[in-house]
Structure 1
Amino acid sequence: MKMTKRLTLSLALVGLLGTTFTPAEASTIPELEGATLSASVQEFLSSADDSMQVIVTFDDRSGLDALKALDPQVQTTRTLSMGLATLTADQIRDIASWGTTRSIWENATDDLYLEDSIGMINADDVWAGEGLRGTYDGTGVTVAVTDTGVDATHPDLTHGNKVIKNFAVVGDPLSDTNVAFVDNPTTADDHGHGTHVSGTIGGTGAASEGKFRGVAPASDIISFKLGSANVLAWWAIQSYDWILTEGDEHNVRVVSNSWGGGGGSDYDPEDPVNIATKAAYDAGVVTVFAAGNSGSPNTMGRNSVSPYVVSVAAANKDFTLASFSSTGRPDGNQNRNSSEGLYRPTLTAPGVDIGAARALTGAQMSSGVITENPFYTRASGTSMATPHVSGVVALMLEANPALTPANVISILECSAAEMPGYASFEVGAGMLDAQAAVAMAEKGRTTCKSSLSVNGFEPIGEEQPISGTVLPGGYAVDTGVSEIDDAFWRYHKIEVTEGMDALHTQIAWNNPAENIYLHLYDPQGNEVGASAGLLAAPITEREVLVTYPEPGTWTVGVVGRVNAVTPYTGTIQAFTEASTKPGNGK
């Protein structure tokens, strides 16, 4: 049986500096007639007191019809197969026994977790097009912000121009009325957190002559006001459901979440927020979460350890890790895959003393007003680091709209600047570098050898050199993998043995006017990696990365597309997963 498993790279926000976290719930106990129940729901069942408000997730929407028949007042989603209901213990046990029930979760309450930072991440170089083919400012890309709302009267965040939708929650989630989102230009941000976050992502800087511009100042913002001091999980799920249902119309490509909870929890794929973010990932929408503000190992938020989100740690302005920034597990999983959580941040971004837009009605954020310009305030937290990443993702997607969430996360990790003295469980791949990330996005270069080390792999032996010459236009003549070169294709072999957990191959040539492609084939001749899909001239390098290759003879194929006779050189390198080596606690 073929067991090839590719490296999937994907993507996390949590509260203001000083926010405390509730101790983590343990991993869920997934046994009751097949449905997965959260620890809180199981505890309720053991006490059987009164009733509990829960989020029920089904395998398909037929389950919602059954839930409505049981409780006509249930709240539902339009795309996700989820319902919010207040149920007794007996009703929960009954619903858990239904064949279509996937999980039952409590409606958790999560905590909220932002001139110099633009230069720290080289966003100004992206605006100027330094080392790039074009200039980028987020034009055409919409970022959804789930937070405390936005003050759309702010000159940097005007309604209808910058903030294209300013949604307030209508309906009490504790009542029988279904939650709805209503666009209202006068919706107030009575905390200030969401305004600050939105300003960091895409504020125009109109009130400061550009000094306090956001990372992607021409991007559009859709704001979901989910509360004034905290966020209910059901409201967040409804936001994702709106994005999955109507987001394409507005080109929503990024969701920025400055909230979280359950620090130190195991990743649970049945957590309804994790289900929603995975659905977004599958739909091509990048989710960004803050790592958390608990400032110690194994305190990352329960939704920030999903392998399908970007998780962001916070840095000081001297490029050191902020003392409050939550870190992962020193002996936990550091390899991004689709079956378990990733217990490290994806990368780190500025999060201390960040100046950004101030909501005039934001009582909690107003105390930090910048005296020389009262339209702005300063704040610190992983909440402030996360919108930096969300803005850079908008720049990347403007440069190359074809990028998938997996591509985006891979590029963020590949392009991050090293933070010497820190382990990956603390800072992930390192410091966010907007210019390097956009340069990779422009070229469609979505993998890199350097990302292997942060994902827990170490090289085995020496690199195998490869070289050859390809003729013009062979891409259109694909005769399949051969043991020997044919008229157009050049082939190179490598023997994969047990213990080789990753293969990386790369080629380079001299003339940027040439365009040649790189392919990787498994022992059965199936293509499992190719550089062709997103890459376009003018570039002079290609690379392909695959993880967990099955043992046998693998083949690297090189072919020309738009080229003259083109000589190339390159390498093939095998890696082993560091966590499998003796003495590392695994």
Structure 2
Amino acid sequence: MKKLITFLSITGLLLSLLFSGGTKTDATERVTIGPKLLEAIDSGVTEHQVIITFHGDEKPTAENLNLLKAIGINQGLTLKSLPMVAAIATSDQIETLKQEDTVRSVFLNRKLEYFNADSTSLTGVDKVRTDEQMQKMNEGFPLSGEGIGVVVNDSGVDGTHQDIEFGDHLVQNVMASANLSSLAPGLLPITYAENVANTDTNSGHGTHVAGTVGGTGEMSSGKYEGVAPGADLIGYGSGAALFILDAVGGFDYAITHQAEYDIRVITNSWGSSGGFSPDDPVNIASKKAYDRGITVLFAAGNSGPAENTHNPYAKAPWVISVAAGTKAGTLADFSSRGTKGAGGTFEMNGKTWTWTDEPSVTAPGVDIISTRTLAPTSSLAPDKDAELIETAYLPYYTTMSGTSMATPHVAGIVALMLEANPQLSPSQVKNILQQTATNMPGYETWEVGAGYVNAYAAVDMAFNTTTEYGTTLNMNQSFNSNVETSTTVEDFTVDYNPVTAISDNQYTFEVEEGVNSLVAQVNAGGLMEATGNPINLILIAPDGTEYSSGINVLFSLYFDRTVSVNSPLPGTWKAELRGLRGAEENPLGTALPETVQGTLAFSKVTGFTGMDDIARHPAADAIKMGVKERLFDGYENGKFKPDNPLKKGELAQYLVMGAAIRQASDESELSPYVEAVLQQGAALKDGQQIQDGVMLTNDGEFETTSNVTRAELSYSLVQSLGLQEEAQDFSGDVTVEYNGERVPIEDSSDIPEKLRGYVQLALDLNILNAKFDATQGPYDLEPTVTATFSPNKTVTRGDFAVAMTRYYNAFFN
């Protein structure tokens, strides 16, 4: 079954590629050959794992299978309902298949990732369910939100869907009837229709939300299970058009029927614009629910990235406001932001309340797969569905992005917390979610709240309320150094074509005097932003110096190409796109034509304090930008000490501050920063939470005052990207790119064997530099270039500032 699901998951993207008109090698050929397979064949690889699709609507016929056997394809898996075979085929066999009338396409069986499954693992929900200690504390059973009533106050819920079936998992489904224009004269009590199987007949939004909270995943064999599949869902549906009366009606119903359904949570993926008022009927209703012990969640809104776009109902101090993040640990552009420093106090029921204009936490909200309303069938994002969802599951699930998707994810986590500890009050729930969150590099609380939600830590703290978290949270820190900057962003487009003139693949722009930092970024998403495109981004300075995004051998995982330049020369610059060279999967340096969108960010420092010793230091601009983004900090005495060695204890602190490292509890004898970097699954980018920590010990000992070497820094930064498997799979000589060629690292024998792959990736990703030397004899036509890495050299604090800002700009900015 596991293999079958894997191949089905591949076909979802394959079909989307087919619908978009895949690549053919000859206009007269009827068989479509996938572009990634063509690249593999052109590179000289002779054997391929492929998906062969025949014409037809059902499983492969005997004639289809006999054809494969006749050309020597005897190893593979046939699908049960689709006309597809997954097999190993040679390039010659693929050439033969291209001539067969019964064959529709042949595509490479390449690795894909799926976002809803990723979201439950990314936030630690999967870890909660499988943790043996948590099961013991829950009488031997995995936590699932069992018995916790969650109201989905939305467009409605389709209870005909098996994942959220009415009468079983969906314990009540209510259709609101609050149309004022249709009422008879008189002051009549609000009415609604209960026990309605499907209340989501014209939207699909609420059904998607309900599946995220607690869908069972039955129609996907558990793959698209919600966060709290044991919770009791109560749907309150207002239809596609939602008015304040409809919304308040949902709160009214929840409060009235709280005891009947043990309602402890109400999730609201809707809102408005404008300022906060405690007298707004929605805020009054949410406060009443809070007073009754119901945890209220609101979506932060989808009006970002501008400041002052926060949903006013999410600003109430008694609710949990949820921003939307990506699976890479960054904030989604569309997620609404609060306003820096905004807020105030007010009196309500004899108590003084303080509100701030900022979200509470951030949760996954991009390309979330959840339940699709079945009656009538709807699709919220048909293009994304074809790209991301296995074909067999398309009738039951759909894809959507927004804070509407992030909010029910947190609502499900709250249900898990309340199952672990039913005595928690709404204010305790909110505090735990915030104190256990993961720092999000480069963002402030008015943008992301406390940070990325951490379900495992939150449930751990719910079980053990005396356990302390939050010591390492940036939100709770006072920093020694501070920087103020101003940044302007310029958009640009390059119609990349590898066969045209170099000037056609360039964009010219100006850098003004006083710019401290230049960051250029493009997205090389390739076909439907799904395949990746091996494009390299180069910035060319006025004096001809080139700055490269590096040979991103991981382009199938990371489509962004980023170049960061500190203290750029003023004058005319060029941004140029080239095919990547020297990577195993792309030895010729070719890339596919693509209209590439990019941005240029120009930052100027307008003032700084707490580091009066960095003037005229080569790393000064990197230090300023890193301090501004809270990637590291100076000392209490107002110094940064850029030439001092970086200590391991400092690196641990800075990784937790600026590399999205999950918190650990404060129960260990070690520093909470050290405990965090050493724990399994430390990196937020390790979505499965199975990789080793992001720092190394010496035979189990961690010496905080020891110096950090360049090889050790390579390990920490690459491991923080969740790239353990790629690093450990590396073999061969360590090399670095120079002018389109691969130059061996001459001192690679000095690199510890277990760190070689990490050094290679650090070089390829342009996080750390090699040192180049050129020698030329009196009769040599060209110089000989050599490169060294100095793996055992101590990293200074200035060195680290340069590496860390590059790392941040490439992978978190």
Alpha-carbon contact 1:410-1:451 (below 8 Å) kept: no
- Name the structure 2 match of 1:405: 426
Structure 2 counterparts to residues 257-406 of structure 1, below 5 A: 257-262=268-273, 265-295=274-304, 296-333=306-343, 339-360=353-374, 361=376, 363=378, 365=380, 367=382, 368-369=384-385, 370-372=389-391, 373-374=393-394, 375-406=396-427
- Shift of the 221–324 alpha-carbon distance from structure 1 to 2, 3 Å rule, reads same
Contact kept, 8 Å, 1:347 with 1:430, in 2: the verdict is yes
How far does the alpha carbon of each residue in 1:463-486 deviate from its partner, in whole angstroms, 9 at most, with x for none?
xxxxxxxxxxxxxxxxxxxxxxxx
Q: Equivalent residue for 2:652?
A: none
2:251 to 240, 254, 260: 240
Aligned residue in 2 for 1:218: 230
For 2:666 and 2:477, how far apart are their aligned partners in 1? Answer: 24
- Provide, for residues 128-176 of structure 1, a one-character-per-residue CA deviation record: whole Å limited to 9, x for no partner: 1355333311101010001111111111010010111111113522333
How far apart, CA to CA, are the structure 2 residues paired with 1:124 and 1:399? 15
Deviation at residue 247 of structure 1 after TM alignment: 1.2
CA distance in 2, matches of 1:353, 1:430: 20
Say whether residues 1:207 and 2:219 are aligned partners.
yes
Q: Which amino acid aligns with 1:298?
A: N
Task: Tell me the CA shift for residue 293 of structure 1.
Answer: 0.5
- Higher fraction of strand: 1
Aligned AA (1:398): E
Q: Does 1:174 align with 2:181?
A: yes
Q: Which residue of 1 aligns with 2:124?
A: 122
**CA positional deviation for 1:331:** 2.7
The separation in 1 between residues aligned to 2:272 and 2:456, in whole angstroms, is 32
- TM-score calculated relative to the size of structure 2: 0.41
Offset, 1:446:
8.1
Residues 406 and 451 of structure 1, relative CA distance in 2, 3 Å threshold: farther
- Residue aligning to 1:61: none
**Rounded Cα–Cα distance in structure 1 between residues aligned with 2:244 and 2:235:** 16
8 Å CA contact 2:437–2:473 kept in 1: the answer is no
Q: What SS does the aligned partner of 1:270 have?
A: coil
Percent identity reads 41
Whether the 8 Å CA contact 2:178–2:246 is kept in 1: the answer is no
Work out whether residues 268 and 297 of structure 2, in 8 Å CA contact, stay in contact via their aligned partners in 1: yes
Cα distance, 1:448 vs. partner?
Answer: 4.9
AA in 2 matched with 1:249: E
Matched residue of 2:460: which SS? helix
**Residue identity matched to 1:197:** V
**Of the candidates 159, 162, 165, which is equivalent to residue 158 of structure 1?**
165
| CA positional deviation for 1:212 | 0.3
1:130–1:342: structure 2 CA closer, same or farther, 3 Å change rule? Answer: farther
Match of 1:191 in 2: 203
Checking the alignment, whether the CA contact within 8 Å between 1:452 and 1:458 is kept in structure 2 is: no
Amino acid of the residue matched to residue 296 of structure 2? Answer: T
Q: Name the residue aligned to 2:69.
A: none
CA contact under 8 A between 1:334 and 1:454: conserved in structure 2?
A: no
Counterparts of 1:436 and 1:159, CA distance in 2: 32
Instruction: Tell me how far 1:509 sits from its aligned partner.
Output: 10
| 1:363, distance to aligned residue in structure 2 (A) | 3.6
SS in structure 2 of the partner of residue 116 of structure 1:
helix
Measure how far apart 1:450 and its partner are: 3.6
Q: Deviations over 1:395-423 (max 9, x none)?
A: 00000000000000000001111111111
CA distance in 2, matches of 1:126, 1:507: 19
Cα distance in 1 between the residues matched to 2:256 and 2:472: 34
Distance 1:224 1:451, change over 3 A: farther
Partner of 2:436: 415
Query: For the Cα contact (< 8 Å) 1:335–1:455, is it kept in 2?
Result: no
Task: State the shift of 1:182 in Å.
Answer: 1.4
Residue in structure 2 matching 1:426, options 447, 456, 460: 447
Give unmatched runs, 5+ long, in structure 2. Answer: 1-115, 481-664, 670-813
Pairwise CA distance, 1:189: 3.3
Higher relative contact order (CA 8 A, sep 6+): 1
- C-alpha displacement at 1:385, in angstroms? 0.5
Report the residue type matching 2:122 in the other structure.
M
Q: Is the 8 A contact 2:345 2:353 kept in 1?
A: no
1:236 Cα deviation after fit: 1.3
Deviation sequence 1:179-216 (CA, Å, 0-9, x none): 32212114343211101000000000000000000000
Please give the secondary structure, in 1, of the residue aligned with 2:313. coil
Q: Structure 1 residues 310, 335: CA separation in 2 closer, same or farther (over 3 Å shift)? A: farther
* Alignment size in residue pairs: 348
Change (3 A) 1:225 1:414: same
1:390–1:208 Cα change, 3 Å: same
In structure 2, give the amino acid aligned to 1:327.
R
Taking the aligned partners of 1:343 and 1:266, their CA distance within structure 2 comes to 9
Q: TM-score, normalised by structure 1?
A: 0.56
Residue 325 of structure 1 aligns to a residue whose secondary structure is coil
Gaps of 5+ in 1: 1-113, 460-505, 511-586
Q: Which amino acid in the other structure matches residue 145 of structure 1?
A: V
* In structure 1, distance between residues paired with 2:208 and 2:458: 24
Partner of 1:444, secondary structure, is coil
Spell out the pairing of 1:84-103 with structure 2 (5 A cutoff). none
Deviations 1:314-353 (A, max 9, x none): 0111111101001111232499995343211100000000
Asked if structure 1 preserves the Cα contact closer than 8 Å seen for 2:379 and 2:398, the reply is: no
CA–CA distance in 1 between the matches of 2:180 and 2:464?
A: 46
Q: Displacement, 1:243?
A: 1.4
CA distance in 2, matches of 1:445, 1:199: 33
Report the alpha carbon displacement of residue 231 of structure 1 after superposing the two structures with TM: 1.4
Deviation at 1:245, TM superposition (A): 1.5
CA 1:212–1:310: 2 relative to 1, 3 Å:
same
Preserved CA contact (<8 Å) 1:333 1:343: yes
Q: Give, in whole Å, the separation in 2 of the partners of 1:119 and 1:508.
A: 24
> 1:242 Cα deviation (Å)?
1.6
Root mean square deviation, CA, Å: 2.6
1:538 aligns with none
- Change beyond 3 A, Cα 1:328–1:457: farther
Taking structure 1 as reference, are residues 445 and 274 closer, same or farther at Cα in structure 2, changes over 3 Å only?
A: farther
C-alpha distance 279-507 of structure 1, shift in aligned 2 (>3 A): same
Q: Which has the higher helix share?
A: 2
The letter for the 2-side match of 1:286 is T
CA offsets per residue over residues 42-79 of structure 1, 9 Å max, x none? Answer: xxxxxxxxxxxxxxxxxxxxxxxxxxxxxxxxxxxxxx
